[in-house]
Amino acid sequence: MILSDLRQYLQSHQRVSLNDLVLHFQIDADALRGMLAKWITKGKVRREMSGGEACGGSCCKCDPLLTEIYQWVDHSLEQGESQ
């Protein structure tokens, strides 16, 4: 998988959990985090939640893969602008 595959998936789904990405691309979560970090650095993706923050509870039983959410935030490509 290359960064453009990840970009296309994020653009079409807008908000996805890390678990969704792991299942779709069948790649280790840490490898995906590295790729996502590239898009975050470019200001194209935002990490919305992580760990137990998503559920609001304090039991710490939430799977981080389910609660780590990434959102595509750059809309310039959709408007016909280049990267």
Q: What is the pTM of this model?
A: 0.73
Cβ contact 43:67 at 8 Å: no
Domain-located, residue 78: no
How many distinct structural domains can be found in the chain? Answer: 1
- Whether residue 51 is predicted with pLDDT greater than 50 in this model: the reply is no
In a domain, 9, yes or no: yes
Residue 36 is predicted with a pLDDT of: 96
Instruction: Work out the average pLDDT over 10-31.
Output: 93
Query: What is the overall mean pLDDT for the chain?
Result: 81
Comparing 74 with 39, which gets the higher pLDDT?
Answer: 39
Assess whether pLDDT exceeds 90 at residue 64.
no
Residue 83 within a domain: no
Distance CA 80, CA 58 (A): 44
- The reply to whether 77 falls in a domain is no
Answer for the pair 77, 83: CB distance below 8 angstroms, yes or no: yes
